[in-house]
């Protein structure tokens, strides 16, 4: 939980304590893992502009907006 709090603060670029949603972070991590596996299976370079453009929006798919 403490590591999650640090990652959340870094993502929000703040040092203030904020409310976090563990379910949303779990969803983001699952989405990122799934995309990483999918891109690897399809042999897509994650540095590719098309892949990079969709990575962040789809990472947050299904998560509560912060």
DSSP 47: T
Higher pLDDT, 65 or 57: 57
Note whether 58 and 28 are within 8 A (CB).
no
Q: What is the pTM of this model?
A: 0.76
**In this structure, is the dihedral angle defined by the CA atoms of residues 60, 66, 6 and 11, taken in order, positive or negative?**
positive
**What are the tens digits of pLDDT across the range 3-51?**
888 888 888 888 887 888 889 889 999 999 999 999 999 999 988 898 8
Confidence (pLDDT) at 16: 82
The three-class DSSP label of residue 60 is: coil
Higher pLDDT, 65 or 64: 64
Residue among 12, 8, 46 at smallest CA distance from 29: 8
């Amino acid at each position: 939980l403490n590591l999650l709090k640090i990652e959340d603060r870094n993502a929000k670029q703040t040092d203030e304590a904020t409310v976090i949603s563990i379910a949303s972070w779990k969803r983001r991590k699952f989405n990122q893992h799934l995309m990483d596996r999918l891109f690897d299976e399809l042999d897509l370079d994650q540095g590719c502009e098309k892949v990079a453009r969709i990575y962040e929006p789809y990472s947050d798919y299904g998560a509560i907006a912060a």
